[in-house]
Amino acid sequence: MTTFRVPGVPVIADGELISTNPATGDEAGRLPVATADDVARAVERARTAGNWWIGLGDAGRRERLLRFRAVLANRITELAELVNAEGGKPVAEAIVEIVSAIEHLDWATRNARRVLGARQLRSRLILAEFAAHLEYQPYGVVGVIGPWNYPVLTPLGSIGYALAAGNAVVFKPSEYTPVAGQWYVDAFAEVVPEQPVLQAVHGLGDVGAALCRSGVDKVAFTGSTATARKVMAACAETLTPVLLESGGKDAMIVDADADLDAAAEAAVWGGMTNAGQTCIGIERIYAVAPVYDAFVAKVVERAGRLTVGAAGDADLGPITMPAQIDIIRRHIDDALARGGRAVLGGPDAVQPPYVRPTILVDVPEDSAAVREETFGPTLTIKKVRDAQEALTLANALPYGLGGSVFGQRQAIPIARRLRSGMAAINSVITFVGMSTLPFGGVGDSGFGRIHGDDGLREFARAKAITRRRGPSMLPAMTFDRTPAQVARIVKLVKTLYGRN
């Protein structure tokens, strides 16, 4: 019998990856660990499957992806309970996550043809004798590497869009949530039994590294910034294009004309949902002086009411990755040692495998709790003079994923000036559920986009074609042009472009 040293820490025994619940240590499932050769073989199979998938055409893929979506919708409770059993996430939170994944799958499927299909573009006078065609062709095989914190929404945000764009996918789920990943790979195989268009390979980081080097045509990575650098370095060896969705340290700005009750409610959910283990979770808040005291009081009151525990209906579950607890503890201790105050929680809130809500104020801006990803149910709240100071501080970190602004008159200009890929006004995190909008970061938060039109194009190559539709009146791209024709070209260019 296998003994689990630390609940939640995956164990490899007899060639199997054993996944356990971080609160109870109960086994959630076990899966075979892939070798580098297994990964290579999966990619080879995916290549054949990808050709078959392309051969189905838009209509064939659409019909199957919509059936896959229906399986997810009809079995949503089963999957949510599995996510709870494996990672400890409360069931209601898992349901919200899966709903968003289903919505994206639906949207990507219904919009793939519009966004990627062949079209003719307008020709310009300078090459009027040619027609311009554009289409977006699938890469072939896409490798998807996913994190554990949103084991359904985050990988499917890449997988669904890659499949809708006509690619086959080889997916490496996080070692902390392989069972949830395998569940929907199996569900997909139920509706597409003919070919392994979507496969999973399991194991630790070395399996992800093998996938980067396996000859896939693109890698879509979601995880920490540190691993993103390794993935990009590995992909550089073969010039394999990468999409990097990495960490964040999102800020909320609360302006003087904000609805404080709404802002406090959103701050608490944005900071504490999934026990704070959210890449686009709120970790730092900048509230302007006139509303600061009232806002802090409302946040503390609301956060203090949250329930914590293993029960599937608690507001906050356990910290999924046990090693993260040391980071959360270090951030709280460091903040307090450097003059910060805990107005809720504090060092005693760290009770492995749980961390209770913690609100920190007066924390210096150069401390770890403000600069590094905490990934726990903690918030720092800082009093600022005005929205301009809030923006300066919010934009001071290398991360730039999402963000939030609460206010009325200046909210839109503030949101536009946040150095981030996304922003929510008078809400938090909502941009991730809006399938029409692209999702991705700037700076240390990565580059490339999932979701929306850009998310579909991320998984396809632009293919440009010119087609002659008549003789050239002024031949330019040929050695057959005469000096007189060159003189006429010069005259034409001055007529067309020479005036303002």
The secondary element (H helix, E strand) that includes residue 145 is strand 141-145
Nearer Cβ to ligand NDP (82/219): 219
Nearer Cβ to ligand NDP (16/389): 16
Nearer Cβ to ligand NDP (182/227): 227
Nearer Cβ to ligand NDP (219/360): 219
Distance of closest approach, residue 69 Cβ to ligand NDP, in angstroms? 21
Give the separation between CA 239 and CA 328, rounded to whole angstroms.
37
Q: In a 3-state reduction of DSSP, which class is residue 493?
A: helix
Distance of closest approach, residue 5 Cβ to ligand NDP, in angstroms? 17
Beta strand ranges found along 345-473 (DSSP E): 350-351, 354-355, 358-361, 378-384, 399-400, 404-406, 424-425, 442-443, 446-447, 460-468
Give the separation between CA 302 and CA 272, rounded to whole angstroms.
11
Distance of closest approach, residue 163 Cβ to ligand NDP, in angstroms? 18
Which DSSP symbol is given to 123?
P
Give the separation between CA 450 and CA 197, rounded to whole angstroms.
20
Give the separation between CA 115 and CA 96, rounded to whole angstroms.
27
Query: Which residue of this chain has its Cβ atom nearest to ligand NDP in the complex?
Result: 208
CB 371 within 8 A of CB 390: no
CA dihedral (262, 265, 267, 269) in degrees, to 10, reads: -140
CB 362 within 8 A of CB 339: yes
Calculate ∠ Cα 10-168-43, nearest 5°.
60
| 299 backbone φψ class: left, alpha, beta (φ>0; ψ -120 to 50) | alpha
Distance of closest approach, residue 34 Cβ to ligand NDP, in angstroms? 11
| 32 backbone φψ class: left, alpha, beta (φ>0; ψ -120 to 50) | beta
Distance of closest approach, residue 260 Cβ to ligand NDP, in angstroms? 28
Distance of closest approach, residue 20 Cβ to ligand NDP, in angstroms? 14
Give the separation between CA 333 and CA 327, rounded to whole angstroms.
10
Give the separation between CA 500 and CA 18, rounded to whole angstroms.
69
Give the separation between CA 220 and CA 366, rounded to whole angstroms.
32
Nearer Cβ to ligand NDP (223/407): 223
Nearer Cβ to ligand NDP (172/298): 172
Residues that bind ligand NDP (CB under 6 A): 145-150, 154, 172, 174-176, 204-205, 208-209, 212, 222-224, 227, 230-231, 245-248, 279, 373, 401, 441, 446
Q: State the catalytic residues.
A: 245
Nearer Cβ to ligand NDP (361/432): 432
